[in-house]
Amino acid sequence: MKKLIAGNWKMNGSLAANEALVKGMLEGLGTAAPKSDMALCVPAPYLAQLGALLQGSPIAWGSQDVSSQEQGAYTGEVSASMLRDFGCRYAIVGHSERRQYHGETDAVVAEKARAALAKGITPIVCVGETLAEREAGQTEEVVKRQLAAVIHLCGHCITEIVVAYEPVWAIGTGKTATPQEAQQVHAVLRAQIAAATQSPGRVHILYGGSMNAANAASLLAQPDIDGGLIGGASLKAPDFLQIVASAP
């Protein structure tokens, strides 16, 4: 199974900057098939632009969120059907910033994952512990609880999701879990998924805590780390491409 390197631009970008960044990535890739599967998850207003720029390329595109509702009086929300209209393959759900700043619960995240799956969009389900939870020895308990909500609601469809382990204390801080620390949590998540499904398929489990061009190779070499959810480094074409090339 190829690694998956997904960029999360967060609330960054402009029409001009996006075009320059994407063109830089495509030029850097050249005509050779990339070693990893690739995706860019961008702010909703730029999905049409990304679809036009990436059409026919090896890079998929996705959103940074999706509504749990299909349609109706939900001002400001974007449904999975709308994302599908723009050719989205992925939708990030449950990012720690959504959990922290928007009060998203495990149940809400699970509903969003189910809504995406229902429209053929792959949810990238984010799980991770805070520094206080890690120091209290609660890492395994927290990530298993967060993933369990999605498993419970989505049932057999769980084999169609992507999971991203993103220790909250390592997001945007420059701190990174050691490869061994990250592998330990990924192994726990892998076992939880295996116990919940009889399918032989392998669910991608990405690492999402300050992975960059310098540390990507050591993280991606771990047996249960299937790729990365990349923040700041996805805003620099050379760095993002170096991470893609770091995959074993």
Q: Which CATH superfamily is domain 4-245 in?
A: Aldolase class I (3.20.20.70)
Q: Spell out the domain ranges in the chain.
A: 4-245
pLDDT band at 199 (very low <50, low <70, confident <90, very high): low
Higher model confidence: residue 158 or residue 33? 158
Ligand-binding annotation for 10, yes or no, is: yes
Ligand-binding annotation for 172, yes or no, is: yes
pLDDT at 189: 96
* Phi, psi angle pair for 94, to nearest 5°: 75, 20
Question: Which residue in 171, 165, 169, 159 sits closest to 140, CA to CA?
Answer: 165
Mean pLDDT of the chain: 95
Question: pLDDT tens across 103-142, in order?
Answer: 999 999 999 999 999 999 999 999 999 999 999 999 999 9
Catalytic sites, residue numbers: 95, 166
Over residues 7-29, the mean pLDDT reads 97
Question: Which residue in 36, 45, 38, 44 sits closest to 22, CA to CA?
Answer: 38
Distance from C-alpha of 116 to C-alpha of 227, rounded to nearest angstrom = 21
Ligand-binding annotation for 169, yes or no, is: no
Cα→Cα distances 94→24, 54, 71, 74, Å:
30, 25, 20, 19
pLDDT at 176: 77
Question: pLDDT tens across 35-48, in order?
Answer: 899 999 999 999 99
Count Cβ atoms below 10 Å from residue 101 Cβ, excluding itself.
Answer: 9
Ligand-binding annotation for 236, yes or no, is: no
Ligand-binding annotation for 8, yes or no, is: yes
pLDDT band at 201 (very low <50, low <70, confident <90, very high): low
Ligand-binding annotation for 231, yes or no, is: yes
Distance from C-alpha of 160 to C-alpha of 190, rounded to nearest angstrom = 14
How distant is the alpha carbon of residue 31 from its chain centre? 25
- Asked whether the whole model's pTM tops 0.75, one would answer yes
pLDDT at 214: 94
Quick one: which H or E segment has residue 96?
helix 96-102
pLDDT at 173: 76
Beta-carbon contacts of residue 144 (< 8 Å; ≥ 6 apart):
188, 189, 192
Are the C-beta atoms of 154 and 187 separated by less than 8 Å?
A: no
- Region of 187 (left: φ > 0; alpha: ψ -120 to 50; beta: rest) is alpha
* Phi, psi angle pair for 196, to nearest 5°: -95, -10
pLDDT at 119: 98
Given a cut of 60, whether residue 200 has pLDDT beyond it is: no
